[in-house]
Structure 1
Amino acid sequence: MTITQLKYVLSVAEYQNFTIAAEHSFVTQPTLSMQIQKLEEELSAKIFNRATKPIELTEVGKKIVEQAKIIVDESNRITDIVHQQKGYIGGEFKLGIIPTVMPTLLPMFLTNFTNKYPKVKLIIEELTTEDIVRKLTDGHIDAAIAATPLENEAIKERPLYYEPFVGLIPKGHRLHNQKLIEVDQLEVDDILLLEDGHCFKDSVLNLCRTYKSDSSLHFQLQSGSFDTLIKLSKEGFGMTLIPYLQTLDLNEKDKEFLREFKAPQPAREISLLYHKSQLKMQLIEALKGTIDGVVRGAISFSDVKIISPIQKKEL
């Protein structure tokens, strides 16, 4: 039994297809199939039911895969131990970031990190929260930056900063003349929202869920871009809510439409996430230290109320 064989098993279990698994393992399909067959012969047990499409795990195969994940993680930890002992910070590091954080946070720390740790090959991918959880669980990314808490026992969360929601309210809107707005003044059908899949939308819905909603309104829009929401809001199609860091890039004229909430301000918690197996911790600590150093001067709020990024189910 080899670590390589176990990695091949995990790949087939994930993709449920020998050919696709071989492509992602960077080997030929016959090589991968032969190694898995050798492992099955050694164990005297069938791991996969090849008669089904897609390929399925046998009952004993499910237990083997669970143990294989642990063994592969522990084998990777040996390399980490050596790197930590040598104080080495380098190698490939895959980072996922949610779309509503990527454009504001990434420019703040990327140059500092790459200059400080030139031996690190940082691979960054924009991912939804759902994809981040899946890829962290499957080991396809090493860490992620997303809104929390996610209430997932397999994932560790280390808060980076708390980012208040800010209202962008056009002229003529019922709340435009107020210096500060309150949560109980929000009406969900009066707010331009991001499209499904964005956790910021779910946070806004959680914020407004217990408040009145006018279902008679004939206009409703969901967009994947804060820029689109801001432009439509200024045209009078409704107010919108945006994260604090997004407001820093607005011009002075547009900032006249911004309205903060009364304290405690509703806010999202942005955290650095990684799997509980805690692999590549020296890189994770380096990344967190870099981000802490740059965000501390740009965003510092404590009197806030954290709004969950997980959409609450109505009873």
Structure 2
Amino acid sequence: MTITQLKYVLAVAENKNFTKAAERVFVTQPTLSMQIQKLEDELDILIFDRGKKPIELTEIGKKIVDQARNIVNESNRITDIVDQQKGFIGGQFKIGVIPTVMPTLLPMFLKTFIKKYPKVKLKIEELPTETILAKLEDGHLDAAIAATPLQVDQIIERPLYYEPFVAYIPENHRLYGRKDLKNSDLDLNDMLLLEDGHCFRDGVINLCKAYRKEMDDHFSLESGSFETLIKLANEGLGMTLLPYLQTLEVKEIEKRYLHHFEKPVPAREVSLLYHKSGLKIQIIEVLKTTIAGIVKGAITFQNVDIISPRMEKNKN
């Protein structure tokens, strides 16, 4: 039994196809098939049910894949230990970022990080929170950036920054003339929201629920991007809430529609996530330091009282 054979098993388990798995690990399909067959012969069991389309794991195969994943991760840890000892910061680093953070955060830190750590090869994916958690668990991501708290077993959350909510209220809206908004002013019935699957949407709904005894489950309109929500608000279809960094992208002529909340300002917590057994901790540390340092200068609310979901939970 070799580490290489276990890597081939994991590739087939993930791709459910020998040809695709071979391409994934950069070997020919006959070579991959032969090595897996050797392992099955050695163990005197079948790992895969080749009669199924797509290929499926046998019951014993499922247990072997779980153990193989642990063994491969631990073998990779040896290289990680050596890199840390040498102070080497480099290699491929796979990171997932949620859609409501990606467009504003990435341009802020990416150029600085690449310049400072040229040996790190970042592979960045825009992914929903649910997919991020699954990929962290399976070892397909080294780290991720998402709104927290999520409080998932085996996933470490390290807050990067707290990003205040800012209301975007057009002139024809009932709240346009209000100077300092209160959370209790919000009403889901005249609010434009992101479509299902966005954690920012859930944060807004939870914020509104906290200040309303009754709630109508009907929303007038939902969209997949903040830019669309702003355009719809300008058409008189309602108001919306934006994360603070998104407001930096608002056109100068539209900035008069931005309304801030009175203290404590509602905010979302954005954190760096990684698995408890994760590798490449040295890259995680420099990534956290770089992002937190840059965002601290961009969010002018750093000295303003804020309240986030985690703070609310701790208070209760």
One-letter amino acid of the structure 1 residue matched with residue 37 of structure 2: Q
Structure 1 pair 301/278, CA: closer, same or farther in 2 (3 Å)?
A: farther
- Kept in 2, the 8 Å contact 1:50–1:56? The answer is yes
Q: How far apart are the structure 1 equivalents of 2:202 and 2:96?
A: 19
1:214, CA displacement in angstroms? 5.0
Which protein has the bigger helix share?
Answer: 2
Secondary structure class of the residue paired with 1:178:
coil
State the identity %: 66
User: Which position in structure 1 is the counterpart of 2:278?
Assistant: 278
Q: Which runs of 4+ in 1 moved over 6 A?
A: none
Q: How far apart are the structure 1 equivalents of 2:47 and 2:247?
A: 53
- Kept in 2, the 8 Å contact 1:40–1:47? The answer is yes
One-letter amino acid of the structure 2 residue matched with residue 20 of structure 1: K
User: Which position in structure 2 is the counterpart of 1:235?
Assistant: 235
User: Which position in structure 2 is the counterpart of 1:46?
Assistant: 46
User: Which position in structure 1 is the counterpart of 2:305?
Assistant: 303
Output one character per residue of 1:231-253: Cα deviation in whole Å (capped at 9) or x when no partner.
Answer: 21122110001101111222333
Structure 1 pair 135/301, CA: closer, same or farther in 2 (3 Å)?
A: farther
Structure 1: segments with no counterpart, 5+ residues:
309-315
Alignment of 1:28-47 (within 5 A): 28-47=28-47
Secondary structure class of the residue paired with 2:260:
strand
Q: How far apart are the structure 1 equivalents of 2:138 and 2:63?
A: 16
Alignment of 1:73-222 (within 5 A): 73-209=73-209, 211=212, 212-214=214-216, 220-222=220-222
Q: How far apart are the structure 2 equivalents of 1:6 and 1:125?
A: 26
- Kept in 2, the 8 Å contact 1:163–1:301? The answer is no
Q: How far apart are the structure 2 equivalents of 1:142 and 1:66?
A: 18
- Kept in 2, the 8 Å contact 1:157–1:271? The answer is yes
User: Which position in structure 2 is the counterpart of 1:246?
Assistant: 246
Output one character per residue of 1:37-96: Cα deviation in whole Å (capped at 9) or x when no partner.
Answer: 111111112212222233222222222111111111111111111111111111111221
User: Which position in structure 1 is the counterpart of 2:313?
Assistant: none
- Kept in 2, the 8 Å contact 1:162–1:301? The answer is no
Structure 2: segments with no counterpart, 5+ residues:
311-316
Q: How far apart are the structure 1 equivalents of 2:55 and 2:303?
A: 50
TM-score by length of 2: 0.91
1:301, CA displacement in angstroms? 5.5
One-letter amino acid of the structure 1 residue matched with residue 293 of structure 2: G
Secondary structure class of the residue paired with 1:268:
strand
One-letter amino acid of the structure 1 residue matched with residue 142 of structure 2: D
- Kept in 2, the 8 Å contact 1:163–1:267? The answer is yes
User: Which position in structure 2 is the counterpart of 1:312?
Assistant: none
* 1:64 and 2:64 aligned: yes
- Kept in 1, the 8 Å contact 2:95–2:123? The answer is yes
Q: How far apart are the structure 1 equivalents of 2:126 and 2:105?
A: 12
Output one character per residue of 1:251-304: Cα deviation in whole Å (capped at 9) or x when no partner.
Answer: 333121111223222211101111211201111111111112211212226632
One-letter amino acid of the structure 1 residue matched with residue 118 of structure 2: P
- Kept in 2, the 8 Å contact 1:95–1:122? The answer is yes
Q: How far apart are the structure 1 equivalents of 2:304 and 2:6?
A: 47
Deviates more, 1:241-250 or 1:194-203: 194-203
Q: How far apart are the structure 2 equivalents of 1:174 and 1:276?
A: 48
TM-score by length of 1: 0.91
1:213, CA displacement in angstroms? 4.1
User: Which position in structure 1 is the counterpart of 2:264?
Assistant: 264
Q: How far apart are the structure 2 equivalents of 1:29 and 1:137?
A: 27
Calculate the aligned-residue CA RMSD, in Å.
1.9
User: Which position in structure 2 is the counterpart of 1:313?
Assistant: none
